[in-house]
């Protein structure tokens, strides 16, 4: 039996590659960076299946180049890089990797909350500089977390996990009402959380943690108008998608004191940042490491591989985004 050809656009943990090699001919990009558009289109020409990253744009041009493609597996939970409708029109199943990185990303949101609130990165820099003169009662005053109000924008898997972790800090929890009006019983019943409109969440939250997907409705959800509705003492954290925040406006808001601080793991134009952001001491800036624990990254590799192998055998992948193309729902 002829084994299918699989292309992996960047090296992933070995456990996923070993699984793929048991049932396919596997070629992995030898570049430890995102492929250029032309490199990607050339590399997928003979592929029956592809595992790619959030940085790979999967659209009509990609599908035209990958004319033999029988399935695409995203090594990410987000999938705004995939034109799912186009894949469905062409009968190509696509998948993502939800659940396996939920706790890791929620934990990182909390790392950013505390780092921004207690000025961890800023004060670490002072200590490393050798210029700290010694303890003083008015130095490096930060914000309390315990007993404050946490606003969750996007109460899905990761947003829910982040909110649940607030129990140890006796926080009041607000979460953004969905367009469908659907509530989150876990947050309602366990935390006594309140489902509120966006403006109220902005006005009452001391910490706002962003976990929503990137859609036309959420792009630039946080702009200067939104920042003006927040408390001047508020901290904004984003572990979701960079373009949910209008980054130039965030720089202005942090410079002017419209909000107190921000903690970011994602950026509007990754890997670039908005001009001036890197110079701000009230911004904690991480290089998209929300899922960067060994167990999470290996679980992502395993799930992506199982998704793709299922597609190549005509079966429903565990986390398919368009199962109807396989005659399933």
Sheet with 235-238: strands ordered across: 194-196, 172-176, 149-153, 207-210, 235-238, 261-264, 283-285
- From the list 21, 220, 228, 288, the catalytic residue is 288
Q: For residue 94, give the H/E element and its range.
A: strand 94-95
Q: Is 258 a catalytic residue?
A: no
- From the list 10, 211, 241, 297, the catalytic residue is 241
CB 306 within 8 A of CB 318: yes
Q: Could you tell me the CA-to-CA distances from 143 to 118, 146, 173, 202 in Å, in that order?
A: 6, 10, 17, 17
Q: Is 18 a catalytic residue?
A: no
- From the list 39, 107, 270, 298, the catalytic residue is 270
| Tokens standing for residue 108 | 């990182």
Give the integer Cα–Cα distance in Å for 1 and 19: 18
Q: Is 298 a catalytic residue?
A: no
**What are the DSSP calls for 116-175, one per residue?**
HHTTHHHHHHHHHHT------TTSS-----TT-EEEEE--SHHHHHHHHGGGGGT-EEEE
Rounded to the nearest 5°, which phi and psi values hold at 25? Answer: -85, 120
Catalytic residues: 241, 270, 288
């Amino acid at each position: 039996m002829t084994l299918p050809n699989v292309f992996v656009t960047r090296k992933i943990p070995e456990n996923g590659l070993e699984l793929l090699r048991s049932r396919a001919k596997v070629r992995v990009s030898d570049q430890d960076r995102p492929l250029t558009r032309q490199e990607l289109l050339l590399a997928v020409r003979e592929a029956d299946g592809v595992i790619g990253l959030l940085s790979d744009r999967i659209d009509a041009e990609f599908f035209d180049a990958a004319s033999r493609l029988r399935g695409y597996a995203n090594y990410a939970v987000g999938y705004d890089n995939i034109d799912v409708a186009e894949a469905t029109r062409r009968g190509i199943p696509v998948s993502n990797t939800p659940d396996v990185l939920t706790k890791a990303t929620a934990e990182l949101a909390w790392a950013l909350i505390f780092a921004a609130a207690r000025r961890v990165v800023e004060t670490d820099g002072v200590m490393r500089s050798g210029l700290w003169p010694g303890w003083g009662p008015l130095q490096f005053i930060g914000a309390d977390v315990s007993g404050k109000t946490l606003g969750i924008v996007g109460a899905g898997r990761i947003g829910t996990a982040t909110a649940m972790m607030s129990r140890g800090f006796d926080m009041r929890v607000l979460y953004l009402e969905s367009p469908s009006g659907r509530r989150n019983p876990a947050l309602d019943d366990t935390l006594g959380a309140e489902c509120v409109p966006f403006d109220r969440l902005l006005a009452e939250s001391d910490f706002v943690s962003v976990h929503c997907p990137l859609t036309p409705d959420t792009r630039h959800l946080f702009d200067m108008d939104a920042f003006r509705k927040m408390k001047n003492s508020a901290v904004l954290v984003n572990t979701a998608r960079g373009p949910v925040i209008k980054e130039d406006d965030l720089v202005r808001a942090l410079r002017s004191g419209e909000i107190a601080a921000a903690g970011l793991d994602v950026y509007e134009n990754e890997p670039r940042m908005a001009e001036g952001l890197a110079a701000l001491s009230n911004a904690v800036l991480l290089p998209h490491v929300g899922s960067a624990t060994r167990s999470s990254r290996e679980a992502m590799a395993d799930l992506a591989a199982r998704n793709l192998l299922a597609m190549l055998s005509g079966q429903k992948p565990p986390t398919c985004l368009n199962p109807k193309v396989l005659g399933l729902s």
